[in-house]
């Protein structure tokens, strides 16, 4: 893999344009593919874009005008992948539970009707010493971290806005969740803990687009130093530093992704019944199932 920092912003935008042909839509218009749901979102995949090569790095990010803003609808998958990679390092996943973006969003900011449905039925919290996850509050990303051994709930907002107030809300919501687990499932983990809201000092975002980078960097720091929370988290906030970290994060995701050359680029699967044939797109050279069953 060539050094990623050799790519300029203009080169990345050119690669991004070349790397994102809407092949599936073209094949559907020709009657070669049935209409289908969006592509499978497995590890090693960002939407329907192949990310097993350096040329596909720009597809991880969305470019608008002259900026390389990490857009919300791509950002959530990048955050999930990046956090999972960090959790796999040193087997941190055995002690720290990574709560997915959707569940964290419902717990932190979902309405009561949606919130009461979540009980984390299959999760044995007694195995873990904490919970970490990102949450989108409406075009802005924050990090939520629950430390069982400190009995504290932290909210880290890249802008530093009302973090203690948000941490108090998170503590109240997690307390309600744990009590509901006891009442509905008989699970006693953490139910008697009095959770205290807290904050971790950190550097702050100074632009309008780097909150996702800040959340990933702060989350990575907490994961790597788990059980030894740093007194201050430093994240480079200059435009040059943010641009550099975007490329490094993309590189790390690529390096930890599985090759997808043998998967259908529309459904993300290797095979369907034996009678299903494959067709190769002459524009991107990726392969698709010729006639896929309607997803269920």
On the question of pLDDT at 66 being above 80, the answer is: no
Q: What tokens does 134 get?
A: 């990102």
pLDDT in tens, 187-200: 999 999 999 999 99
Judge whether residue 7 has pLDDT over 50: no
For 2-11, what is the mean pLDDT? 41
Top mean pLDDT of 28-42, 73-87, 90-104, 250-264 is at: 90-104
d(CA 8, CA 20): 18
Q: What percent of the chain has pLDDT over 90?
A: 41
Instruction: Give me the residue label for tokens 């430093």.
Output: 234
Tell me the torsion sign for CA atoms 158, 160, 161, 167. Answer: positive
pLDDT at 291: 63
Higher pLDDT, 270 or 63: 270
Q: What is the pLDDT of residue 126?
A: 92
- pLDDT at residue 233 in the model: 97
Domain ranges in the chain are: 4-52+263-289, 72-255
When pLDDT is averaged across residues 232-257 and rounded to a whole number, the result is: 89
Q: Other C-beta atoms within 10 Å of 180: how many?
A: 18
Residue by residue, DSSP assigns 157-197 as: -TT--SHHHHHHHHHHHHHHHHHHHHHHH---TTTT---EE
Rank 46-50, 90-94, 217-221 by mean pLDDT and report only the highest: 217-221
Q: Residue 203: what pLDDT?
A: 96
Cβ pair 249, 112 in contact under 8 A: no
Q: What is the mean predicted confidence (pLDDT) over 218-226?
A: 94
- Does residue 8 register a pLDDT over 50? no
This prediction's pTM: 0.70
Q: Which two tokens stand for residue 231?
A: 């007194």
Among 51-55, 158-162, 265-269, which is the least confidently predicted range? Answer: 51-55
Whole-angstrom Cα distance, residue 8 to residue 14?
10
- Is the per-residue pLDDT at 43 higher than 80? no
pLDDT at res. 94: 83
Architecture field, domain 72-255: 3-Layer(aba) Sandwich (3.40)
pLDDT at 268: 67
The pLDDT tens digits for 141-182 are: 999 999 999 999 999 999 999 999 999 999 999 999 999 999
């Amino acid at each position: 893999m060539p050094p990623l920092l050799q790519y300029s912003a203009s080169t990345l935008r050119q690669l991004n344009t070349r790397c994102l042909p809407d092949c599936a839509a073209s094949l559907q218009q020709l009657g070669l593919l049935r209409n289908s749901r969006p592509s499978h979102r497995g590890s090693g995949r960002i939407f329907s874009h192949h990310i097993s090569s350096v040329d596909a790095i720009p597809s991880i990010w969305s470019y608008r005008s002259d900026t390389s803003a990490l857009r919300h609808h791509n950002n959530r998958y990048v955050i999930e992948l990046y956090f999972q990679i960090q959790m796999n390092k040193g087997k941190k996943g055995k002690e720290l539970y990574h709560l997915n973006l959707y569940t964290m969003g419902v717990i932190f900011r979902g309405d009561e009707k949606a919130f009461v449905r979540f009980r984390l039925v299959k999760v044995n919290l007694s195995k873990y010493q904490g919970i970490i996850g990102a949450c989108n509050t409406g075009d802005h990303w924050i990090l939520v971290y629950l430390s069982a051994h400190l009995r504290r709930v932290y909210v880290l907002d890249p802008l530093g806005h009302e973090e203690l107030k948000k941490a108090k809300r998170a503590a109240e919501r997690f307390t309600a969740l744990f009590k509901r687990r006891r009442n509905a499932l008989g699970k006693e983990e953490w139910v008697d803990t009095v959770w205290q809201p807290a904050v971790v000092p950190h550097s702050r975002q100074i632009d309008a687009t780097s909150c996702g980078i800040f959340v990933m960097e702060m989350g990575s720091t907490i994961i790597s130093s788990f059980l030894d929370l740093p007194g201050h988290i430093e994240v480079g906030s200059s435009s040059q530093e943010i641009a550099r970290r975007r490329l490094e994060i993309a590189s790390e995701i690529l390096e930890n992704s599985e090759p997808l050359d043998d998967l259908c680029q529309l459904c993300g699967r290797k095979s369907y019944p034996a009678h299903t044939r494959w067709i190769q797109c002459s524009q991107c050279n990726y392969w698709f199932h010729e006639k896929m069953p309607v997803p269920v």
